[in-house]
Amino acid sequence: MRIALISPDYLPVPPVKYGGIERVVYTLAEELVERGHEVILYAPFGSQIRGKLMPYLHVGHDMWRIPGFVKLTLPPGVDIIHDHTQLSVVGQKKLAVPTVCTIHNPLTNPVKHAVYLSKRHRDLFGNPHDHVVYNGLNPDEFQFSDQKSDYLLFIGAIIPYKGVHHAIEAAERAGQKLIIAGPVYDHDYFHKEILSKTLSNPSIQYVGEVGGQARQDLLKHARCMLFPTLVEEPFGLVMTEAMACGTPVLALPNGSVPEVMSGFPQLICRSVEVMTNKLIHETLPDPYELREYVLEHFTTSGMTDKYLEIYQSIIEEES
């Protein structure tokens, strides 16, 4: 099968540090190539995959320039386009080639073939006939450790709806060290809610945006990951990344959390107070059980199986 994958124009594929969409696109592309499919990836300069790269020519971030570029440069014989842009900009243009759109944000995009990242995501923003495919990861890319250190971990964008302030509150109430890692997307919030805490409490540390081995070390050695999201999170890839490393996740029950964490319902917290109590009193799951759960439910291989089924059904429907 000849497949064109369309990534957003923000970050390279794979991302150097932060970038959940780009990480999913990369692992999907690599798995498709491994299975003998031909992949054409549309992504920013600096991207690297084993398939063919079609780098965007525009400077800066302007996703509405992507559809025209794809239309002009799409090689002949492409069987299907898989759009991963936030607004499904290629899918909205209704090109002649069958197009499927994975919706990575809490949005309803006006496209014919939509894929949502959880049942909750589809229930809120899609239709009953739309597909659901959980994000997958390559377990070989996540180092496992059953030896944990004495810190809690938050990895994600520094922005209010990610709930970083709740992670700080839980850590402080529990009297435990918290490491915060991620890009700052809201500087006012960072200075008022995060930086001030790091200056007044040496147990709260902000280490910036991390990638590579530094990110692996944080994930695999944390006592616990905190995921206090305040929005209808479509999936929450970092939860499965942490568990793949053998690290438990305490999360507020918003968005996809009850689905992603269904194997460990005792880790779902209805409030910050409950999260704090669990940090103090809860016996956390065995690291090996956490990794096995991810291997059973959230791998790139399983994700790719489902996408290939969707590709084939759409191609047959539109032939």
Contact between 80 and 98 (Cβ < 8 Å)? yes
Dihedral, 13, 17, 19, 25 alpha carbons, nearest 10:
30
**Separation CA 207–CA 311 (nearest Å):** 41
Distance CA 260, CA 152 (A): 20
Other C-beta atoms lying within 10 Å of the C-beta of residue 319: 7
CB 78 within 8 A of CB 51: no
What is the structure's pLDDT at 60? Answer: 85
Q: What are phi and psi of 122, to 5 degrees?
A: -65, -40
Residue 161: both structure tokens together: 């709806």
Distance CA 25, CA 31 (A): 10
The DSSP code for 67 is H
Beta bridge partners of 226: 250
In which band, very low, low, confident or very high, does the pLDDT at 286 lie, cut at 50, 70 and 90?
very high
96 burial (CB, 10 Å; 0-12 / 13-18 / 19+) is exposed
Distances (CA, A) of 89 to 41, 112, 116: 15, 12, 16
211-261 confidence digits (pLDDT tens): 999 999 999 999 999 999 999 999 999 999 999 999 999 999 999 999 999
Angle between helices 237-244 and 287-297 (to 10 degrees): 130
Token readout for 9 is 């124009």
Q: What is the pLDDT of residue 179?
A: 98
Under the banding of pLDDT at 50, 70 and 90, the label for residue 17 is confident
pLDDT mean across residues, the chain = 96
The DSSP bridge partners found for residue 299 are 137
Mean pLDDT over 62-79 rounds to 96
- Given a contact cutoff of 8 angstroms between Cβ atoms, the answer to whether 251 and 267 are in contact is yes
CA angle 138, 143, 146 (to 5 degrees): 130
At residue 193, the pLDDT reads: 92
Region 2-11: mean pLDDT is 97
With residue 177 as reference, give the H or E element that holds it. Answer: strand 177-181
Query: DSSP string of 92-152?
Result: HT--SS-EEEE--SS-----SSEEESSHHHHHHHS-TTSEE----B-GGGS---S---SEE
Tokens encoding 172: 């402080």
Map out the domains of the chain with their CATH numbers: 2-138+299-318 (3.40.50.2000), 139-297 (3.40.50.2000)
Q: Tens of pLDDT along 162-193?
A: 999 999 999 999 999 999 999 999 999 999 99
What pLDDT shows up at residue 52?
96
